[in-house]
Structure 1
Amino acid sequence: MAAVGLMLSCTRPLAPLLRPGVPKMSPSQLHTTAGCASKDYYEVLVLGGGTGGISMSARMKRKVGAGNVAVVEPHEKHYYQPLWTLVGAGAKQLAASSRATANVIPPGIKWIQCRVQKLDPDKNCVYLENNQKISYKYLIIALGLQLRYEKIKGLPEGFNYPKIGSNYSVHTVEKTWKALQDFKEGNAIFTFPNTPVKCAGAPQKIMYLSEAYWRKTGKRSKANIIFNTSLGVIFGVEKYADSLLEIIKSRNITVNYRHNLVEVRADKQEAVFENLDKPGATEVYQYGMLHVTPPMGPPDVLLDSPVSDAAGWVDVDKETLQHKKYPNVFGIGDCTNLPTSKTAAAIAGQSGVLDKTISSIMKGKTPTKKYDGYTSCPLVTSYNRAILAEFDYNAQPLETFPIDQSKERLTSFYMKANMMPFLYWHGLLKGFWGGPAPIRKLLHLGLK
C-alpha cells in the first residue's frame, strides 16, 4: 500500500445491547456462525476473508445492506502479512500482525466459517465443505493464493531443524528471527521461487535486514550473503532495480540469477538449486542460514474451475476486475490473473475500482473506472531505511510524492513500519481506502 498508498444467527442493533446493565457481546457474537441456520441466498457473496474480501465486504455493506452480504472464510484469525518482514527481522512482534476474524468482518455481515468446495457460476451458486449450497446475485472472489512448500523436496518438514525460516507463513516467520540470531558463520542464502509470489520484494527485504543485523552484532565479516533468484533481474522496475543493485554492490552481496530452490537437506544444512538456463543442472550450497520463499499458486478450489484461466487464476478484465465470461462475478487480489504484483497496496487500488465497477453493473451501466495496475512495494533496506517503489501495469514508476522514491529514506521506512499498518486496519479493511491516486494528483499539482 504505498506511502499513504499504500465468519451465522441474526445481529441486532448494537446500541440497545450496550445499555448499562446489559451484558456486552463478544466480537464473534456480532456475526452468525455456520452452525446456525443461515440463508441460502445473498445479494453479494464474498469468498475469502483476507484483505480483498474484507475491504470489499465493507464496501458492499454500504451498497446493499449488511443482511444482504456474506463472507465465506474458514480461519479464526486475520493477518496483516506485510508486517512479517519486520517480524522475521525482530523489529516487530507477530501478535501485532493479528486480529480475530470476527473483529475485522463488518458488523451485521454474515460470516460463514467454512471452506469453499466448488464454484458453479453457470447456476450462480457455490458449494461449501459442510455440503451447504449458497446462491448469489453477485460474487466477489478474493481467495488469495496458496503457499506450496511441499513443492520443495525436504519441506515443510525441514523447518523442524534450526537455521531455516520463512517470512511467508505464520508458522515459520519467527523461525527466521531465530535463525538470524543464531547465525555464526558461512553462507546465508535467501531464495526467490520460479512462480508468481505475493510481495515480490519481500524475499530480498529480509536479506538486507539480516545484513544490517549482522553488521550491528559484529558477525557481518563471517557471513557470505547470497541471493539465489529464479528471475533474470533483481526487480521488475528498472528505476528501483538500479538503486537495489547499488546497495547490493556496496554491501558485498552475491546474486545468482535463474537459480531455483528444489530441495532442502536440513539435516546436512544443504540447499539444492536448479539452474534454469541449464535444464537438469543443479548446484548444492552449504548454509549457515536459509530463508525460503516458497513456490505459490492458486487455491485448489480454483484449479480447473469455470472461473479460472488455464493456470488456475480467476480470469478477470484487467481494467474493471469483472470476470471475462460471467458478468456478475468479480475478482480481487492475489487469486486473480491481473498482470501486476500481488500486494496489499495493489488490493487497495483494485478495491476502489471494483467498487465503481459493481455499482455500474448494479445500475445496468457499462463500467468506466479503470484500474491502471497500481501497486507498491516498500523495499526495506535496513532497520531505518526503505525505498518506496510504486508502479503500474507497464512497470513504470507511479509515485505518490514529488521526490525520487528510489532513494533510501527514513520517512519511507516509518511509513512501512507504522503508518501503513494503521492505514490497513482503519482504512483499507473498512472500505475507506482505495489507494493514493487522489493524494498523488494533489501533490503533483494535477499532473500524472
Structure 2
Amino acid sequence: MSGHRILIVGGGSAGISVAARLRRAGEHDVAVIEPAVTHYYQPLWTLVGGGRAPVEESARPQASVMPKGVTWIRKAAVSVDPDARTVDLVDGTSVEYSYLVMCPGIQLDWAKVTGLSDALGRDGVSSNYRYELAPATWSFVRELRRGSAVFTMPSGPIKCAGAPQKIAYLAADHWRQQGVLRDIDVHLVLPTPGMFGVPEFAAVLERVANRYGIHVHFQSEMTSVDTAKKEIAVVDHAAGDATTTLSYDVLHAVPPQSAPDWVKKTALADPNSPAGYVEIDKHTMQHTRYPNVFALGDAGSSPNSKTGAAIRKQAPVVVENLRAVMAGRAPGARYGGYASCPLTTSRKHMLLAEFDYSMTPTPSLPYIDTIKERRDMWYLKRYGLPALYWNAMLRGLA
C-alpha cells in the first residue's frame, strides 16, 4: 500500500489550489487523487450557453495545472476510512495518509427529475452544467423565434447558484436584440422566496427580470420533464405543493445536487444531512470529528454559496490550518463565508454579488459600486476572472 503525508482527494479548483499552496509553503509529500485528464473552468459555461464565449476556452489538460512536485494519482477514489487513514481507489488499491483534504466536488443528480436525463441535448432541452451541453444551449436559444422558454433551479445547495438566472438574462437579451422577445414567453422557476438571498442584489435582479418580462415562479421547482408533450411539471411549495405544468420550446434545466454517492457512505459525511457533504467547521474547514481531515469547495458542509470565489478564500485557510495541526497547534485561520457570484444581467453587463455568512454585501473592489449592473464588470467576468483562475488561483498565488 502506497502512502503520503498529505493526500488530496479531487483535482478541481479546490484540490489544485490547495496543492499549489502547500508546495509553495514547502510541503514535499503531497499527492492528488484525480482521474480526469481535462481540467475545466466551469464558470465560462454560462457564457458559452449564452453565445458569448467558445467552449474550448474552458478546457485545458489536467497535466498543465498539476503543481510541480505533486504526486498525481490518476484513479478515482471510491471510499475513505478515516479511522484506518486510507482512501480506496477504483482499481482495488488503497492509499494511506497522515492528513487528508477532501474536495471531490459535487454530484449532479439528473435522475432526481423524472425524464430529464433522457431529454438532455435534444428538442430544446439543455443545461450549462455540462461541457458538451453548453453549446447546445446556445444553439437552442439562437434558433428560437417564438414560443416558450423555461429556466429552472432546484432546491438545495448547488454550485454557482446564480447560473440558473444568468442564462435566462443572456437569452432574453439576445431575443430582445433580435426583436423577438415579445413573441417568447419566458419563465424562471426558483425554489427560493426571492430572487437572491442578499436583499440589495435581489432588488436589482427583480428589476432585471421585469425588464425582460420574465415570469418568475417563486418557491417552486421542476419535478419532471415530458418530452412528448414538451412540458414540465412544477411543484409550488407556497401553495401546498400544488403541481402545475409549463410548456416549453427551450428548457434550460439545472439538476439537484449533492455530495458524491461514495462520500455519503463514509464516516466523514454529515450524518444529519441527506446531501452527505463532508462535515466540517464552517470557519476552520477542519472536520468536526477527525482533526487530521479538512474539506473545502463544493463537497464541504460549510453553508456558503458554492462558488469558485469561495474556494479562493477557503484554500489559504485550509493550508494554514492544516500546517498548524501538522505542527501540533490549534487551527487559527478563519473563513468568513465569502462568496462571489458574477451575475450576467445582459450580454454586456454584470452584477458582481459579493457576500459572506451574514448575507450582507462585502465588496472587494475599492471605489466601485458593485450593487448595480456594470459594463466594466462584464469584462471582468469574460476576461479578468478566467485569467485570474488559470494564472494565479491554480498556482497558489491568489
**Aligned to 1:120, which of 45, 59, 81?**
81
Contact 2:348–2:375 under 8 Å retained in 1: yes
The answer to whether the aligner puts 1:334 opposite 2:298 as a matched pair is yes
The answer to whether the aligner puts 1:184 opposite 2:148 as a matched pair is no
Residues 55-98 of structure 1, C-alpha deviations (whole Å, 9 max, x = no match)? 011112233544x1111111111100000110001111111000
Task: Structure 2: give runs of 5+ residues left out of the alignment.
Answer: none
Distance in 1, Cα, partners of 2:202 & 2:93: 49
Aligned residue in 2 for 1:407: 372
Contact 2:220–2:234 under 8 Å retained in 1: yes
Contact 1:231–1:257 under 8 Å retained in 2: yes
Distance in 2, Cα, partners of 1:185 & 1:383: 20
Distance in 2, Cα, partners of 1:213 & 1:161: 21
Deviation at 1:165, TM superposition (A): 1.1
**Structure of greater Rg:** 1
Aligned residue in 2 for 1:249: 210
Aligned residue in 2 for 1:416: 381
Aligned residue in 2 for 1:152: 113
Aligned to 1:429, the other structure's residue is in SS state: helix
**1:158-173 residue pairs with structure 2 within 5 A?**
158-173=119-134
Deviation at 1:363, TM superposition (A): 1.8
Aligned to 1:422, the other structure's residue is in SS state: helix
AA matched with 1:44:
I
Residues 416-446 of structure 1, C-alpha deviations (whole Å, 9 max, x = no match)? 110000000011111111xxxxxxxxxxxxx
Residues 147-172 of structure 1, C-alpha deviations (whole Å, 9 max, x = no match)? 01111111211024221111111132
Distance in 1, Cα, partners of 2:223 & 2:152: 11
Contact 2:21–2:316 under 8 Å retained in 1: no
Aligned to 1:358, the other structure's residue is in SS state: helix
The count of aligned residue pairs is 394
Distance in 1, Cα, partners of 2:390 & 2:122: 35
**Aligned to 2:70, which of 106, 109, 121?**
109
AA matched with 1:355:
V
The answer to whether the aligner puts 1:313 opposite 2:274 as a matched pair is no
Aligned residue in 2 for 1:362: 326
The answer to whether the aligner puts 1:61 opposite 2:26 as a matched pair is no
**1:272-283 residue pairs with structure 2 within 5 A?**
272-279=233-240, 281-283=242-244
Distance 1:374 1:280, change over 3 A: closer
Aligned residue in 1 for 2:55: 94
Using structure 1 for the length normalisation, give the TM-score: 0.86
Distance in 2, Cα, partners of 1:64 & 1:267: 59
Using structure 2 for the length normalisation, give the TM-score: 0.96
Distance in 1, Cα, partners of 2:319 & 2:121: 44
Residues 356-390 of structure 1, C-alpha deviations (whole Å, 9 max, x = no match)? 11121122111211111001001101111001110
**Aligned to 1:235, which of 184, 191, 196?**
196
AA matched with 1:356:
E
**Aligned to 2:46, which of 79, 85, 95?**
85
Task: Structure 1: give runs of 5+ residues left out of the alignment.
Answer: 1-38, 434-448
Q: Which runs of 4+ in 1 moved over 4 A?
A: none
User: Percent sequence identity over matched residues?
Assistant: 38
Aligned to 2:316, the other structure's residue is in SS state: helix
Deviation at 1:335, TM superposition (A): 0.2
Contact 1:187–1:224 under 8 Å retained in 2: yes
Residues 296-334 of structure 1, C-alpha deviations (whole Å, 9 max, x = no match)? 111011113111102211111111101111111000100
Aligned residue in 1 for 2:252: 291
AA matched with 2:306:
K
Distance in 2, Cα, partners of 1:249 & 1:279: 26
Residues 89-125 of structure 1, C-alpha deviations (whole Å, 9 max, x = no match)? 1111111000111111112311111111110111111
Deviation at 1:190, TM superposition (A): 0.6
Distance in 2, Cα, partners of 1:247 & 1:229: 15
Contact 1:161–1:267 under 8 Å retained in 2: no
Distance in 2, Cα, partners of 1:405 & 1:280: 37
Distance in 2, Cα, partners of 1:117 & 1:84: 28
Deviation at 1:279, TM superposition (A): 4.6
